[in-house]
Amino acid sequence: QKVTVAVLDHLEHLALVDFRDSEGVEQLQKAIQFADQLHEVNTDGVEPMDSVLEDRCVYLREDDVTEGNCTKELLKNAKEKVEEYFVAPPGNIPLPKLEERDSFLQ
Amino acid sequence: QVSAALREGRVSPTELCQRCLSLIKSTKFLNAYISVAEETALKQAEESEKRYRRGQPLGVLDGIPVAVKDNFNTAGIETTCASNMLKGYISPYNATVVQKLLDQGAVLLGKTNLDEFAMGSGSTDGVFGPVRNPWSYSRQYKEKSVPKCHCEDKEPSWVITGGSSGGSAAAVSAFTCFAALGSDTGGSTRNPAALCGLVGLKPTYGLISRHGLIPLVNSMDVPGILTRCVDDAAVVLGSLAGHDPKDSTTVQDNFKPFEVPNVTDLSKFSIGIPKEYHAPGLSSEILALWSKAADLFKNAGAKVIEVSLPHTPYSIVCYHVLCTAEVASNMARFDGLQYGHRAAASQSTESMYAATRREGFSQVVRGRILSGNYFLLKQNYENYFIKAQKVRRLIAQDFVKVFRSGVDVLLTPTTLRDAMPYKEFIQEDNRTRSAQDDILTQAANIAGLPAINVPAALSERGLPVGLQFIGCSFQEKQLLTIAKWFEKQVKFPVIQLEEMEKHDHGVFQHQKSAYFS
């Protein structure tokens, strides 16, 4: 079962990462094929496992501020900044549709 | 031994540091290091020297040169994960494990090379190029290789270190440091340990803090320890293990650092040999070695029994799905806004993120992100992600059943074969190679169990081959005890590097059987 272009496009949107070329798409197909082997295993009545520490009560600290005041250091690594702000391009503009953007999937 | 030498004043921390730094320079062709922190290392060595002069060293690790894989945050030193996404990124903080090493007085020489974002099993897929296995330049390997034709280059083709912690492995194997940190998500510490003839310890999940380790798979990642002998691994483990309030996935149990006991009576130990680890593609050499090792334990009085971990053939598939899914989530933080590479695109945040990630991530990383996102799609979530989580439980239960039946430790091969020549390795893509090479190691990550590679012998090609011991959760002491006994029996040979023979210093004589104390 081949993955449709619609799904590939959807994935590029979700991941904000591109397939780049046919090899990229082929890679996904192979990955799915490989993963399909899971269906050979009988998992009736088995609960999914999130973490090997599921039986333990892990430590959660109090919601108190204990560290911080390192604005200068944190801003050092940002490329675009103004005063104490990280600068982002305008939000709420979705990625252009497939027909309008520069994607291999075209 | 080197620690004792420091205490007795036979060598000084600055001398030791300088020799390691110069060795790093002369072994630059290995490409083991991405960044060498020469100035800060020498400063740390000087501080250490002052402490020794006052007779107040911080501990066994004081003054010991170490290296750290470049996916651990180090304050003031570039942390790149061998990716364009983080080139030039200088972290404002130290990973907890790095801080702990520094607090013990260890001298941080630099950051080692890896596969990009620790995705790979060869240490060949980072933006700084592949790491070369020091054994490629050993007398043992050169003697065994048949020159193809006299007109070609005089050196036989160099072999890979394995991965993804290949840089750390090469650094320790070439004597440029005494211990190195790696990370282990699917075998990334044990695999290069096996191919480079080192002890590679993957601790129990939850024992050592992951705070500051740039995550790949949150439910499986652990910091790994690479050393030249089991005792050294125990020393490093002792300084790193324990609850970290900054990492909620570390357990709160009290950890007691230990010295590995020397056992001679193995009669109370039960060694399990899981038959499914006789995986397709396992070289006959390693199969024979595994069998010989089992006999060694049997003859020493241990109970050696064949056991079954029936879901083993599916563990690599389960790992593949869970890994790509968690990767898809973890890599989402790289958007260029707060740190790392940022693309010039500025029409919208989404297009900036997309361009940044397009430019910053390699094909391997992008491939895993896209696969992971596929498995997490609403229509696939139940069939792939949840399914894999169920299989995960089955795999973990397999181990529990075997350990409950009285087995103390499992003995398995670590890799399918000895180190492959680079030219051969790159003929298959990263995903294929990872699936092949992780097959014997990643079940321990799925189940969160401690596992260790112990170098066992040289292959017919003169390259290291190791065997793996897998233990019960949080039973590192027992695991290392058995590993140490085995290490003593096999007497794995020291690498004979011509580089080493040039530096004929007393210090390096100690390295032949390098203990810390």
Short-list B241, B130, B161, CA closest to B415: B161
Confidence check: pLDDT of B481 > 90? yes
Confidence check: pLDDT of B505 > 60? no
Q: B317 to chain A: nearest residue by CA?
A: A35
DSSP state of B228: S
pLDDT at B10: 84
Asked if A59 and B245 come within 8 Å (Cβ–Cβ), the reply is yes
pLDDT per position as a tens digit, B389-402? 999 999 999 999 99
Q: How far apart are CA B389 and CA B386, in angstroms?
A: 5
pTM for this entry = 0.93
* Residue range of the domain that includes A17: 1-40
pLDDT per position as a tens digit, B44-81? 999 999 999 999 999 999 999 999 999 999 999 999 99
More confident position, B172 or A102? B172
Asked if B92 and A73 come within 8 Å (Cβ–Cβ), the reply is yes
Q: Which helix (H) or strand (E) holds B284?
A: helix B284-299
Of B243, B350, B367, which is closest to A95 when you measure between CB atoms?
B350
Catalytic residue (choose from B3, B35, B69, B121): B69
- Could you tell me if B160 and B301 lie in one domain? yes
| Cβ partners under 8 Å of residue B197, min gap 6 | B135, B173, B455, B464, B466, B492, B495
B377 touches chain A (CB under 8 A): yes
| B164 included as an active-site residue | yes
pLDDT at B499: 57
Which chain B residues are closer than 8 Å to A19 by Cβ? Answer: 366, 370
- Could you tell me if B172 and B57 lie in one domain? yes
- Could you tell me if B378 and B401 lie in one domain? no
Confidence check: pLDDT of B503 > 70? no
| B348 included as an active-site residue | no
Confidence check: pLDDT of A95 > 60? yes
pLDDT at B513: 34
Residue A73 lies in a domain: no
Instruction: Report strand pairing: B107-112 vs B179-184.
Output: unpaired
| B246 included as an active-site residue | no
With contact defined as beta carbons under 8 Å apart, do B191 and B417 qualify?
no
Residue A32 lies in a domain: yes
Residue A27 lies in a domain: yes
Asked if B370 and A11 come within 8 Å (Cβ–Cβ), the reply is yes
Residue of B370, B381, B382, B391 best to disrupt the A interface, most CBs of A under 10 A: B370
Which chain A residues are closer than 8 Å to B249 by Cβ? Answer: 51, 53, 58
- Could you tell me if B380 and B415 lie in one domain? no
pLDDT per position as a tens digit, B287-309? 999 999 999 999 999 999 999 99
Asked if A78 and B447 come within 8 Å (Cβ–Cβ), the reply is no
Catalytic residue (choose from B188, B239, B270, B371): B188
Asked if B370 and A17 come within 8 Å (Cβ–Cβ), the reply is yes
- The interface predicted TM-score (ipTM) is 0.94
Domain count along chain B:
2
Residue A74 lies in a domain: no
For all residues of chain B together, what is the average pLDDT?
92
B350 touches chain A (CB under 8 A): yes
pLDDT at B153: 53
Q: How far apart are CA A87 and CA A83, in angstroms?
A: 10
B264 touches chain A (CB under 8 A): no
Q: How far apart are CA B209 and CA A42, in angstroms?
A: 35
User: What integer is the mean pLDDT of B268-275?
Assistant: 96
Residue A19 lies in a domain: yes
CATH number for position B408: 3.90.1300.10
- Could you tell me if B279 and B417 lie in one domain? yes
Confidence check: pLDDT of B90 > 90? yes
Residue B407 Ramachandran class (φ > 0 left, ψ -120 to 50 alpha, else beta): beta
Asked if A16 and B353 come within 8 Å (Cβ–Cβ), the reply is yes
Among the candidates B386, B418, B443, a domain finishes at B386
Residue A30 lies in a domain: yes
pLDDT at B385: 97
Of A12, A18, A38, which is closest to B317 when you measure between CB atoms?
A38
B93-102, B141-150, B375-384, B388-397 — which is least confidently predicted?
A: B141-150
Confidence check: pLDDT of B238 > 60? yes
Q: How many CB atoms lie within 10 A of CB A4?
A: 9
pLDDT per position as a tens digit, B428-451? 888 888 888 899 999 999 999 999
Among the candidates B370, B386, B402, a domain finishes at B386
Which chain A residues are closer than 8 Å to B473 by Cβ? Answer: 52
- Could you tell me if B66 and B162 lie in one domain? yes
Of B342, B374, B393, which is closest to A32 when you measure between CB atoms?
B374
pLDDT at A28: 95
pLDDT at B511: 42
Q: How confident is the model at residue B500 (pLDDT cuts 50, 70, 90)?
A: low
User: What integer is the mean pLDDT of B323-350?
Assistant: 94
Q: How confident is the model at residue B517 (pLDDT cuts 50, 70, 90)?
A: very low
Q: B334 to chain A: nearest residue by CA?
A: A16
B352 touches chain A (CB under 8 A): yes
Bridge partner residues of A46 (DSSP): none
Domain count along chain A:
1
- Could you tell me if B197 and B304 lie in one domain? yes
B127-131, B327-331, B506-510 — which is least confidently predicted?
A: B506-510
- Could you tell me if B294 and B160 lie in one domain? yes
B9-13, B175-179, B359-363 — which is least confidently predicted?
A: B9-13
Residue A24 lies in a domain: yes
Q: How far apart are CA A3 and CA B368, in angstroms?
A: 16
* Residue range of the domain that includes B201: 1-148+155-315+387-513
Confidence check: pLDDT of B501 > 80? no
A53-62, A67-76, B3-12, B346-355 — which is least confidently predicted?
A: B3-12
pLDDT at B273: 97
